[in-house]
Amino acid sequence: MSIAIVTGGASGIGRAIAAELSSRGDTVYVTDRNAEGAAEVADTLNAKLPGKAFAAALDVTDNEAVAAFYNQVATDHGSLDLVFNNAGIAIGGLAEELTMDHWNRAIDINLKGVIHGVDAAYRIMIKQGSGHIVNTASLAGLVPMPMGIPYTATKHAVVGLSLGLRAEAAGNGVKVSVVCPGFVDTPLLATVNDGLPDTALSSKPGTDVKDTVPGRLYTAEKLARDIMKGVKRNDALIVAPASGRAAWRGMRINPAGAVRIAKIAVDQFRKQSAK
């Protein structure tokens, strides 16, 4: 059995990862800035699955709080085996619509939040000589995703951080993987620019951002199973679903072509917005 921490565990991908861990009999700490949501998830897991789940309020933008919590878990259990730095937010809009508030929020949560988790977990795992850090990025961290470039920029950074750390960490017995999912059916799509100035892509009452997403959405539960398979194989990059892997492959083969396809999406969006 493993001792695991999942950030952003109150919903979506984090919740699904916590369920997969609990189904294996692991001890999992479900953390989120939404304390009530984290507690609800932990209670549900404890009622239905063999593992042991605990809930904790945690703001990943608070470096000291993250370090203190990770160290406390490691101290209480004698080890920290798995860390899923998963918490993130969605930012959408054309570059000219965005403000520094959009950029700073994306950097603080999607990038610095991961950095805080990596820094805390890695120091613990170096001392242990073991452990696995899993960072959630996005397909947007591998391909050119317009109409949300603060999100895209932070996810590219998380991919680079994870792969660079993986090369360093191997010599210390620590594993590092990065998850790059395509569009997943999670509450994130209903909270685009939450608490930030609106753009044409903001989630608003009476609208459904899911309607703007091309193709069929992947479920968080399927992605969580993909993630755990990738962790078992110690994959550097965990890319899902198959359509996401195809897009990534296309980007590697023809980067200019991938940008042209992204431009088509932007042109279509601008035409629709002008109506």
Across 14-35, b (16+ Cβ under 10 Å) vs e yields bbbbbbbbbbeebbbbbbbbee
Neighbour count for residue 255 (Cβ, 10 Å): 12
Alpha helices per DSSP H over 186-241: 220-233
Q: Average pLDDT of 141-164?
A: 97
Among 29, 70, 122, 151, the active-site one is: 151
Q: Average pLDDT of 162-190?
A: 95
> For the chain, how far is it from start to end, CA to CA, in angstroms?
56
Average pLDDT, the chain: 95
Band of residue 210 on the pLDDT scale cut at 50, 70, 90: low
Topology of the domain covering 3-244:
Rossmann fold (3.40.50)
Q: Average pLDDT of 238-249?
A: 96
Give per-residue pLDDT as tens, 47-69.
Answer: 999 999 999 999 999 999 999 99
pLDDT at 190: 87
Give per-residue pLDDT as tens, 189-208.
Answer: 889 999 999 999 997 654 44
- Asked about 218 being catalytic, the answer comes back as no
